[in-house]
Amino acid sequence: MGKSSSLVLNKVSEQFPAPFKKSFYFLPISLSLITLLFIFIYDITTTVDVTHNLPQTDPYLLDRSLPTDNIPFDQNSENGDDLVADPSRLSASARANKWLGNLFGISNGNYTNNIEAYHDEDIFLEDYKQMNKSLKIYVYPYPQDHPFKQVFEPFESDPVGNFASEHYFKKALMKSHFITEDPDEADFFYMPFSIALIRDDHRLDIAGISVFVKSYIQNITNIYPYWNRTGGADHFYFACHSKGRFAFDKAFVAKLNVIQLLCSSNLYISSYVAHKDAPVPQVWPRLDAPPIPNLLTRERKQLGFFSGGINSRTRVYLLKVWDNDTEIFTHHGRLPTPYSEQLLGSKFCIHARGYEVNSARIADAIYYGCVPVILSNHYDLPFTDILNWKSFSVIVNERDIPILKRILQGISSEEYAMLQSNVIKVRKHFQWHTPPTDFDALHMSLYELWQRRSVVKVKS
C-alpha cells in the first residue's frame, strides 16, 4: 500500500509544478467543507419553511397541551401513541398546515401523484385479467357427519351483521369460477372454517378457537399431502371476527406460513404479518337497497359525522373534543335520525377505531358517497397495495383529533371533488355479491391472494 502511494506522489511531482502539489492535498478537504456548507444551508432553509410559514390560527388551535385530568384514560394510548397534543411538537396550527400539505403530496410547491385512485391502474388491470383467467383454489372437503359441520358450510341465506364479510366470502367463492376439484392445479388451498361461528358455538367459544384450528390442521396434514409440500404457505383462511388473528396461536409453524385474509389488520399486533397476510374490508350488507341517485351532486350540509359505541380511548377523546360542535356531529347511542341520512348529508364520515382498528364505517361511508376520515393508527387498510387511499380518504393520526376541523376545513372544494369522485370509483370494491361480479370484494380479496403466489409447489 505504501509503495503504490509513493508511486502516485512521484508521478505527480514529475508532471506538475510545486504549487499544484499543495492543491493536490487541499482539494479533497475543500470539497468536503463545501458539501457540509450546502447541507447546512439546506437544513436551515427547510426548517424555516416548516416553522415560519404558518397560517393564522383559530382560538382552539392555540399551541398548548390539552388538560388531561378530566380525560378518562391515560395520556398514552394502548398502542403506545400519545393521544394528547404534545407541546414539545410543532404547534397545532403548524401540524395542521403540515398535514394539509401532505394530503395531496404538496411539498414546497411540488406535487406527487395523490389524485389517482389506484397506484398503477394499468398494471392492476393487466394483472387482474390474468388472475381472473387462471387463479384456481381448492377447498378442503369436510365429512357430512362432522360434529362442527355448520362451521364449514356456506350460508344459504344472505349474511348480515358485523361479520357478514366472512360469510359472504365463502358463499361467493363457492359460486365462482375460481374453484377447482383438482388439487394438483390449485394455486391456493382454502380452509373453510368460520371464526365467527366457532366463536358463537357454546362447545368452543373464544378459548377453543386455537384448539379447534390446531386439530383441524393436524387432520388435513394426516389425510392430504398438500400442506406438507409447502408447510402451509399456499393455504389461507378468511376471518372478519377480531379473534381470527389468534386462531393459530397453538400452531406456531402454521402461524408463520398460512396467509390470513383479515378484517382486523392491525400492524401493531405481532399475529398480523403485512405482505404475508392481507387486509380485507368489513362490510355491513344492505340487502335489496335501491340505487342511490346523485351521490356526487347531492347537497351535503354537514362537515363531519361520527356515530358509534364508546368502546375505545380514541372514541372517548373524539366525543370529548367535538361533542356539541355545530359542524362535526358526534354521537353515541341511538341516533335520532336514520343512519343513512346522516351519511348522505355529510361531506366527511369518521371512522374512529373501537375495540379494533377496523369497523364497517369505512364501507358505509363509501357506499353513501361520503369521504371517509380514518382515525385508526396502525390500520393496514383494505387493498392498500392496489388502492391509493390518500386519493379518496382523509387519514388522520389519532393525536390530531383536536385539529380535525381545521384539517377538514382546509380541504378546498376542488380537492374534495377529487376525493369524492374517487370514492365513487372504488365503491364497487367494497361490496359483496352472490354470485360474485367483476371487481367486487371477492375478486379484490382473491387478487390479494394472487399477489402472494410466491410459493414453489412440489408435485407429489
Over 50: is that where the pLDDT of 423 sits? yes
Over 50: is that where the pLDDT of 165 sits? yes
Q: Which residue, among 347, 350, 342, 397, has the nearest Cα to 373 in the 3D structure?
A: 350
Same-domain pairing of 219 and 197:
yes
Residue 96 lies inside a defined structural domain of this protein: no
Which domain CATH number covers 422? Answer: 3.40.50.2000
Same-domain pairing of 141 and 241:
yes
CB burial string 196-232: b at 16+ within 10 A, e below: bbbbebeebeeeebbebbbebbeebeeebebbebeeb
- Please answer whether residues 344 and 366 qualify as being in contact, where contact means their C-beta atoms are separated by less than 8 angstroms: no
Same-domain pairing of 23 and 141:
no
Over 70: is that where the pLDDT of 284 sits? yes
User: Could you give the number of structural domains in the chain?
Assistant: 3
Same-domain pairing of 420 and 337:
yes
Backbone angles phi, psi at 239, to 5 degrees: -145, 130
Distance CA 139, CA 142 (A): 9
- Please answer whether residues 141 and 183 qualify as being in contact, where contact means their C-beta atoms are separated by less than 8 angstroms: no
Distance CA 341, CA 242 (A): 29
Distance CA 80, CA 88 (A): 17
Same-domain pairing of 233 and 368:
no
Residue 340's H or E segment, with its range, is helix 339-344
Residue 295 lies inside a defined structural domain of this protein: no
Residue 262's H or E segment, with its range, is strand 259-262
Residues 6+ away with beta carbon under 8 Å from 77: 83, 313, 314, 377, 398
pLDDT band of residue 204 (cuts 50, 70, 90) is confident
Same-domain pairing of 147 and 275:
yes
Same-domain pairing of 379 and 253:
no
Residue 215 lies inside a defined structural domain of this protein: yes
The pLDDT value given to residue 289: 76
Question: For helices 441-450 and 121-134, what crossing angle results, to 10°?
Answer: 90
Residue 149 has a CB neighbour count (10 Å cut-off) of 11
Same-domain pairing of 196 and 237:
yes
Distance CA 418, CA 49 (A): 27
Strands 394-395, 137-139: pairing is: unpaired
- Please answer whether residues 310 and 331 qualify as being in contact, where contact means their C-beta atoms are separated by less than 8 angstroms: no
The pLDDT value given to residue 74: 38
Q: Taking the model in full, what pTM does it have? A: 0.77
Over 60: is that where the pLDDT of 65 sits? no
Determine which of 96-100, 110-114, 210-214, 286-290 has the lowest per-residue pLDDT on average: 110-114
Same-domain pairing of 268 and 324:
no
Over 70: is that where the pLDDT of 307 sits? yes
The pLDDT value given to residue 378: 96
Same-domain pairing of 275 and 141:
yes
The pLDDT value given to residue 24: 53
For residues 296-306, give the mean pLDDT.
Answer: 96
Residue 60 lies inside a defined structural domain of this protein: no
Same-domain pairing of 142 and 188:
yes
Q: Residue with C-alpha cell 370509483?
A: 425
Residue 126 lies inside a defined structural domain of this protein: no
**20 or 286, which is more confident:** 286
Residue 390 lies inside a defined structural domain of this protein: yes
Gyration radius from the chain CA atoms: 28
Same-domain pairing of 311 and 205:
no
Q: What is the 3-state secondary structure (H, E, C) of 394-411?
A: EECCHHHHHHHHHHHHCC
What are the pLDDT digits (tens) for 369-395? 999 999 999 999 999 999 999 999 999
Determine which of 94-103, 116-125, 139-148 has the lowest per-residue pLDDT on average: 94-103
Determine which of 105-114, 166-175, 229-238 has the lowest per-residue pLDDT on average: 105-114
Residue 69 lies inside a defined structural domain of this protein: no
The residue segments making up the domain with residue 357 are 302-430
Distance CA 193, CA 275 (A): 23
Q: Which residue, among 419, 407, 390, has the nearest Cα to 296 in the 3D structure?
A: 419
Single out the residue in 28, 50, 72 at which a domain terminates.
50
Cell numbers for 231? 408447510
Residue 354 lies inside a defined structural domain of this protein: yes
